């Protein structure tokens, strides 16, 4: 079952005690800030074999930080009307960009609402900053991440 992941800030989704049953806080849309009505998603293999690599690729775009993400069922999204297209990503891992990056295109506000509900159900445990850093360093050592393509700040902080 192919799955897609999106990086979020978990605190926006889970810490509001005042919410009613089945409701989502409006701040979750900060994690769904589409550009050109498009959102970036990453494909994770069934056996999670590429999860650390995808995580490292995304993390290498910025400073070391905690990594919160949610998992989505690709087939379920497509059934809901999402247009999912494989498009090269922009991380410092060019192979990961080519293999596993998807865009969810032609998003409407209705689909964003659906996506928010799906993300809420797929929120995963947090990956700590130290684990994120370790994954990035391992990915560099394996030649997956091109250090020169990483932002200067990310290189410096590593």
Partner 1 sequence: MKTLVLSEDAFSGIQSDPILHEGFGRWRIDTQLTSPKTHLERWITPISSAVTYLLLRSQVTPTRPTIDFDPFRPELLAATPSPAGQFMNRWFVSYFTKEASDERRIERAKFEEVESCWTERVGKYFTSLFLETRDEDFYDGGTSGLGKGIERALLFYGTEAVDALRTVFGLSWVSDEQRTEALRVIGRTKYSTSHEHRRQFLEECLFSESPTVRDGAAIGLSLLRDPRSHAALMNAIEREPIAVLKRDMVLLLPDLADV
**3-state SS, residue 16:** coil
Instruction: Based on the shown chain and the rule CB under 8 A, indicate whether residue 149 belongs to the binding site for partner 1.
Output: no
Instruction: Based on the shown chain and the rule CB under 8 A, indicate whether residue 11 belongs to the binding site for partner 1.
Output: yes
As a whole number of angstroms, the distance between CA 60 and CA 19 comes to 34
Q: Which of residues 44-63 bind partner 1 (CB under 8 A)?
A: 58-59, 61-63
Q: Residue 18 is inside which H or E element, if any?
A: none
**3-state SS, residue 93:** coil
* CB 1, CB 73: distance < 8 Å: yes
Instruction: Based on the shown chain and the rule CB under 8 A, indicate whether residue 9 belongs to the binding site for partner 1.
Output: yes
Provide the pairing of β-strand 101-105 with 83-86: antiparallel
Nearer to partner 1, 2 or 38 (CB): 38
Q: How far is the CB of 87 from partner 1 (least distance, A)?
A: 20
For the window 100-129, what string marks contact with partner 1 as x by the rule CB under 8 A? -------------------------xx-xx
Residue 97 CB neighbours (<10 A): 16
Q: Which residues bind partner 1 (CB under 8 A)?
A: 7, 9-11, 14-15, 17, 27, 30, 33, 58-59, 61-68, 125-126, 128-130, 151-154, 156-157
């Amino acid at each position: 079952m192919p799955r897609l992941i999106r990086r979020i800030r978990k605190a926006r989704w889970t810490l509001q005690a005042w919410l009613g049953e089945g409701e989502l806080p409006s701040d979750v849309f900060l994690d769904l800030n589409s550009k050109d009505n498009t959102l970036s998603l990453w494909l994770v293999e069934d056996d999670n074999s590429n999860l650390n690599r995808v995580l490292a690729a995304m993390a290498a775009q910025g400073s070391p930080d905690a990594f919160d993400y949610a998992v989505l069922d690709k087939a379920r999204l497509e059934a809901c009307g999402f247009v999912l297209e494989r498009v090269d990503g922009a991380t410092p891992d060019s192979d990961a960009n080519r293999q596993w990056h998807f865009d969810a295109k032609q998003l409407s506000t209705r689909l964003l609402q659906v996506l928010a509900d799906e993300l809420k159900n797929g929120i995963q445990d947090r990956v700590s900053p130290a684990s994120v850093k370790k994954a990035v360093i391992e990915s560099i050592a394996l030649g997956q991440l091109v250090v020169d393509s990483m932002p200067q700040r990310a290189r410096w902080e590593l």
